[in-house]
Chain A
Amino acid sequence: MITNDEIRAVAKLMKIEIDDYEEHAEKIRKMIEYFDHLDSVALSDTFQRGITVTIDSLRDDVVENTGAGADLGLKFGGGEHMHSPKLR
């Protein structure tokens, strides 16, 4: 069972501020409880690999610079730094 403190800790980790805490906590608990169904299956030790390709089929090392001069819809322009809120 996931405790309220755990939910708060994970929310902090994920940078999520929660207003209506109680409602969320109850639903989250229900969902995680449902995930416990995974315990009922016997599983192998390994998992399979996904789509597999050769090195030579990968992108060639050729400059494209698709962003140069383009309007990328950012809060800052090319040639400018991005402002970040202070760390710590």
Chain B
Amino acid sequence: MKARIGLEIHCQLTTLKTKLFCGCRADYRKMDPNTNVCPTCLGLPGSLPRLNGAAVKTALLIAIALGCKSPDVLSFFRKNYFYPDLPKNYQITQLDIYGPACVGHDGQIKVDDRDVRISRIQLEEDPGRIVYSGASEKNLETLVDYNRAGAPLVEIVTEPDMESPRDVRIFLNLMHDMLENIGASDASLEGAIRADANVSLEGNNKVEIKNVSSFHDLEKAVGYEIMRQTNNIENEIEIDKETRQWDEKRRITVSARSKESDTDYRYFLEHDVPWIEIGNACDMLRKDMPESIATRRQRYTAEYGISDQVAEILSSQQYFARIFESARTDENSRELANIITTDLMGLLETRQKQADSKLGSAELGRLVGAMMDKRITRTSAKSALQSMVRDGRSFDDIVRESGLGTVDDESKITELVGSVIDSEPGLVNQALASPKAVHYIMGLVMKKSSGRADPEMVRKAIESYLDSKRNDAPDQ
């Protein structure tokens, strides 16, 4: 039976400086509770929302990236419900029930070979955060921090066009990369992207899955839910239309048993926020839109002859794609792409490390050039790269000072090989029997040369040594 899976993705616009409706900081992280608040985000009597124009533009950018249509005029609505994390006891959000009014609707995005339709994209305010504290489960205190209240958030709602947990994973990864690529969100920040899913099996009721803390768990939760529903149907148990929560410890979904279905949100127009005429904003944004990941990837394979696999990794991360483009020459594309994806990405795996990196793209180009001319080995290059990232030293200085230049003197290499084999004479017989041991000797030689020996020459030297031994040995 075919599963139909839809997603609701909440993405904070973390690249903005201020909240959606006031001048408090959008980045509420690492602050003492309730210090990033003002009359507006606390909903004090008489306060009014003041819409952040940059938030509207960023949300429109997401709509464009997802192929959505945007109306001529945007408006906002109130979603009314009582909850301790909601200072006004309503949330300012968007809605299309009276005609298109959200930042985007009816989009589409290619996920592998599948089209996933985007129903709508709405701009809204994040609630505050509830934390539970206390000695035991029974005596938990309910505490609220409003630092997050009002942070700019975009909700992306898809049609149920995915069929497997794998589809979900691919889609979420794609979203993650896209949001970073267009500069809408630093998706790696804690809590920056959250997703809920809905799952139904053909002709049966839809089940919502909420409260999932990571993409990985969401994939698991969807998988579990498909299995649970399939079992139910096989046993002729009707599937309830309900909301279920993911139980992290037990790795199952459990019925939320909330009264959420009873809640009537009494949606109506938010008149404190004026209607927003989009005018030519979308055209302007489209003009400045960063190249999409798919286009970039295609360009890398078609124009630069980079393998599909490497191009996929490189194109999806704007930071590295930028370094690549500025250090690239017609000759070094493939070698450069390889060293970025295999070595540099490992050195700069976090946003912080990227920000702190002192590596200049011209220097990186020099390093790749030296590798291509065999003036330096791969291993030496890696160690030089570390130093360039950390200290910002020039490639030439490093080579000069630490003698990282390649050892390609034949007699030196023969000497090296001889000394390694002398230290472990048993290796020779092993090597004569198995190529694995040849690799092992090679490793020892490279180590002894601090990675500077030319590997090809080392291999030849070992083989000629072994050949001489073979000739010495009596026929058996």
Q: Do chains A and B touch in the complex (CB under 8 A)?
A: yes
Q: Taking the complex as formed, is B233 at the interface, i.e. its CB lies under 8 A from any CB of chain A?
A: no
Q: In the complex, which of the residues A67, A79, A80 has the most CB atoms of chain B within 10 Å of its own CB atom?
A: A67
Write the A46-85 contact mask toward B (1 if CB under 8 angstroms, else 0): 1101111111111111111111100011101111111111
Q: Taking the complex as formed, is B143 at the interface, i.e. its CB lies under 8 A from any CB of chain A?
A: yes
Partner of B35, one of A13, A61, A79: A79
Asked whether, in the complex, the Cβ of A72 is within 8 Å of the Cβ of B42, the reply is yes
Q: Taking the complex as formed, is A27 at the interface, i.e. its CB lies under 8 A from any CB of chain B?
A: no
Partner of A59, one of B51, B57, B264, B269: B51
Number of interchain pairs (Cβ within 8 Å) = 137
The interface on chain A, measured as residues whose beta carbon lies within 8 A of the other chain's beta carbons, has a size of 39
Distance A63 CA – B16 CA, assembled complex (angstroms): 10
The A interface is mostly helix, strand or loop, or mixed, namely: loop
Asked whether, in the complex, the Cβ of B23 is within 8 Å of the Cβ of A63, the reply is yes
Write the B124-137 contact mask toward A (1 if CB under 8 angstroms, else 0): 00000011000000
Asked whether, in the complex, the Cβ of B275 is within 8 Å of the Cβ of A51, the reply is yes
Q: Taking the complex as formed, is A43 at the interface, i.e. its CB lies under 8 A from any CB of chain B?
A: no
Distance A66 CA – B24 CA, assembled complex (angstroms): 7
Asked whether, in the complex, the Cβ of A78 is within 8 Å of the Cβ of B42, the reply is no
Q: Taking the complex as formed, is A86 at the interface, i.e. its CB lies under 8 A from any CB of chain B?
A: yes
Asked whether, in the complex, the Cβ of A62 is within 8 Å of the Cβ of B145, the reply is no
| Chain B residues numbered 35-57 whose CB sits less than 8 Å from any CB in chain A | 35-39, 41-42, 44, 50-57
Asked whether, in the complex, the Cβ of A61 is within 8 Å of the Cβ of B16, the reply is yes
| Chain B residues numbered 216-236 whose CB sits less than 8 Å from any CB in chain A | none
Which residues of A lie under 8 Å from residue B275 when comparing CB positions?
A: 49-53
Which residues of B lie under 8 Å from residue A86 when comparing CB positions?
A: 140, 142
Asked whether, in the complex, the Cβ of A61 is within 8 Å of the Cβ of B56, the reply is no
Asked whether, in the complex, the Cβ of B24 is within 8 Å of the Cβ of A64, the reply is yes
Which residues of B lie under 8 Å from residue A37 when comparing CB positions?
A: none
Which residues of A lie under 8 Å from residue B346 when comparing CB positions?
A: none
Distance A88 CA – B366 CA, assembled complex (angstroms): 64
| Least Cβ–Cβ distance between A52 and chain B, in angstroms | 4
Q: Taking the complex as formed, is B77 at the interface, i.e. its CB lies under 8 A from any CB of chain A?
A: no
Distance A51 CA – B270 CA, assembled complex (angstroms): 12
| Least Cβ–Cβ distance between A54 and chain B, in angstroms | 5
Asked whether, in the complex, the Cβ of B271 is within 8 Å of the Cβ of A78, the reply is no
Q: Using CB atoms, name the residue of chain A closest to B25.
A: A63
State whether A87 and B274 are in contact (beta carbons under 8 Å apart), knowing that A55-B53, A55-B281, A65-B23 are contacts in the complex.
Answer: no
| Smallest CB-CB A-B distances: 6 pairs | A64-B23, A58-B53, A67-B38, A81-B143, A61-B54, A84-B84
22 pairs of residues in contact across A and B, judged by CB atoms under 8 Å: A50-B274, A53-B276, A54-B276, A54-B277, A54-B279, A55-B57, A55-B279, A56-B53, A60-B53, A61-B16, A62-B18, A63-B17, A63-B25, A65-B24, A66-B23, A72-B42, A74-B42, A81-B143, A82-B34, A84-B130, A86-B140, A87-B130
B-to-A contact residues, CB < 8 Å: 16-18, 22-25, 32-39, 41-42, 44, 50-57, 73, 75, 82, 84, 98-99, 130-131, 140-146, 263-264, 269, 271, 274-279, 281
